Structure 1
Amino acid sequence: MFRTPILALTLFALASGCADERQADVSRPASAPLKITSWNLEHLAERNGQGCRPRTDADYAELRRHADALGADVIALQEVESKAAAERVFDPARYDVVMSARPQSRRGGSCYGKPGQSIGHQAVGFAIRKGVSWTRNDDLSALALGNPDLRWGVDVTIAGRRPMRLLAVHLKSGCNSGRTPSDADCPVLFDQLPVLERWIDGRAAAGESFAVLGDWNRRIAASSDAFYAEIDDNAPAGADLTIASGNQAASCKARYREFIDHIVLGAKATARTVPGSFEEYRYDLPEDRHPSDHCPISIKVAP
């Protein structure tokens, strides 16, 4: 028999495994910086041999090795088929995994240059280390623009003395620079822009510490980038944005020297960033053996 109604409710909540909120483990030092990472896992499927990057048990084990080496507290995920797929890399005994609620995409057909392999669902989400207290906010479904094949944003709040709002995104591909109206991808990406800007402005107006992180599919750090210039307008106050990578060149792939994965911080989050903490994780393997076509990027923020 429960001794008090409060105890009964607490134990019920723990037993029910609520997916929308997790409480901090007291073993985590309150003063420790929070390491925040973004990682596109390149068509991570639930089952062996599936999707555009078919994998074996050994391949999933290799991804788990790199996940451990990251040492991250919060990881924004892209190109993940489902929660079950993410949990093949991020052990549910060590991480809470939350994925977008977007229904399964109707997108199908062969993977580019890989006949006989069918493209799978791509979702955005987070893996959050147990011991980090967090709550889930509504998904930013408006990023899909009503198109079932475009990805939603996933929005969580990392709790603590100074909460931090994080939005994981995977924006439209195919318009990594410029703004060519004749390119079918650029109008779609720029239609996503006001949705993203409204989210940013809402956080700034509320006085929140926030970041947008993920695969932007855009070289926004390039001088006078048209996409970034429209969202980095410091209106309202607090919406003055910082790209965590600064002037650092990308080094994951020899062919590409500019990042398309980004961690973009509002003014309050920028002030909390540990100086010099931005890093691009490098796989200890030749490029042709990388476990994903993207390398994780990370920063540390003060609690």
Structure 2
Amino acid sequence: MLSFSHNLTQKRTQKFTTHAIALALASFAFNAASHAQQTNKSDEVGIASFNIAWAGTKADFKTHLAVCSAPEVNWCDTRPRIMRGATEPTKEEADRAKQCQSNIEAAAGGFEKSMMVAPCNAYRLNASNWSNGEAWYDEKMTGLTSTIDKLVTEQGIGIMAFQEVKSRETIQAILGKHVNDFETCVAEHNAFQTVGFAWKKSLSSKPAVCRSEEALAIKDNEEETSKIRKLRPGVELNITVGATPLSILNVHLKSSCANLITTDRYAGHVLTDDDKACKILNRQVAPLENWIERVASKTPLFVVLGDFNRRLDEEAASNPPKDQVRSDGSDPASPNKTGPHGEVKTRLLWQELSDGNPSLVQVPLAEGTGACKGFVGLDHILISEALNAKQNGAASSVKVGVDQLKGQKIISSDHCPRITTLKLR
């Protein structure tokens, strides 16, 4: 009996020990998997590009109402209208627009102050309905705040690049309940619209560095010597996500030279065409390419994103021979010769930027979800080849619907945020 009892105890001890070891191994495996998952998550970042359509603070909007409702302004349009089929406005129309600009400057307190006021047609108000404007503007800001909440809580976005934003205060206002979790910055500019970032404080233990890319803020008219209007600058964010340095440039390029392919509504253009908007966009090519080449030489992982106002997807699909990218037939990977005002021989923006020195990858466009009815093909996310190589399969993007009420008078935005999640290690 004593021997049997001893053997039974020994077997129970062995069974217990085996069970304990199994539990310990299972626990180790679970913790290791959990740690690996955490490590993987720390090496990923969700990124969004979002044009927020003339977004300023409530105080900015009140200034807009005060200036545009002034009797001498009366909601006039500073852009001269061009009749269908014509290439230039009539003298009478040009004079009307010039007088409108003069009246706005007087109401705003001078040219510099007038540049900080959204145009009178920015929010589609007029003399008959502007008294309801403040309530309608509140709806716009509520829609933006709600959309950003979706990006953070549902999509896990950690870095947001904004276009058509007035100030850091504007970004902080639309971050809503997330404002204390994010750092913000904007590029300094002499006009209402600029570009900016918001990024989660928890992404990095090192302070991020944000700076303006002033080279993109070229003069709208190189002949002007007074009352100078400049295009929007870029803004660069250098941030270490987990243990990985990442550089991001947020841009909003010149509008109205969007299409390569002619449609029923828009003429197709290359950047060397005799078209005013295309000539201006052409002069932004060199500074944009310079940033890419400079950053690529020191930071292999980088992103260029924002509102390019150009169908880069159409250009990529055209797939021309190298000697057709520039009008002089030179290799797009060679130094770009600039003219007296910064103009270049570049006909196609995408092939110039991704010329092999370095090469870039377009994160593919995607159909929108939900209430997304924004512009198609203007908002892009470009990533370096080194960053693309780290993705599990092809990088992809989604357009997220913008929150707004049915029949909302001042729309939340005419763009939808484009988002992607990038693996960094």
Q: TM-score range by the shorter chain?
A: 0.7 to 0.9
Deviations 1:71-128 (A, max 9, x none): 21000000001111111101431221100022x22xxxxxxxxxxxxxxx00101011
| TM-score normalised per structure 2 | 0.55
Alignment of 1:67 onto 2:188: no
Residue 318 of structure 2: aligned partner: 224
Residue 281 of structure 1: aligned partner: 400
Alignment of 1:197 onto 2:289: yes
CA distance in 1, matches of 2:210, 2:412: 31
Identity of aligned residues (%): 28
Greater helix content: 2
Residue 19 of structure 1: aligned partner: none
Secondary structure in 2 matching 1:69: helix
Q: CA separation of 1:190/1:38 partners in 2, compared to 1, >3 Å: closer, same or farther?
A: same
Residue 210 of structure 1: aligned partner: 302
Residue 114 of structure 2: aligned partner: none
| TM-score normalised per structure 1 | 0.76
**Out of 209, 221, 227, which is 1:136 matched to?**
209
What amino acid is the match of 1:86?
I
Residue 240 of structure 1: aligned partner: 359
Residue 299 of structure 1: aligned partner: 420
Secondary structure in 2 matching 1:157: strand
Residue 263 of structure 1: aligned partner: 381
What amino acid is the match of 1:241?
L
Deviations 1:247-276 (A, max 9, x none): x4567438x5x4100001111121234545
Task: Quote how far apart the aligned CAs of 1:62 are.
Answer: 2.1
Task: Quote how far apart the aligned CAs of 1:285 are.
Answer: 5.6
Pairwise CA RMSD: 2.4
Structure 1 alignment gaps of length 5 or more: 1-28, 106-120
Q: Which runs of 4+ in 1 moved over 6 A?
A: none
Residue 172 of structure 1: aligned partner: 254
Task: Quote how far apart the aligned CAs of 1:284 are.
Answer: 5.7
Contact preservation (8 Å) 1:220, 1:227: yes
Select the structure of larger CA radius of gyration.
Answer: 2
CA distance in 2, matches of 1:242, 1:260: 16
Residue 77 of structure 1: aligned partner: 162
**Out of 181, 185, 190, which is 1:98 matched to?**
185
Contact preservation (8 Å) 2:367, 2:399: no
CA distance in 1, matches of 2:418, 2:289: 22
Contact preservation (8 Å) 1:137, 1:157: yes
CA distance in 1, matches of 2:216, 2:406: 32
Task: Quote how far apart the aligned CAs of 1:59 are.
Answer: 2.8
Comparing 279-288 with 80-89, greater Cα deviation is found at: 279-288
What amino acid is the match of 2:283?
D
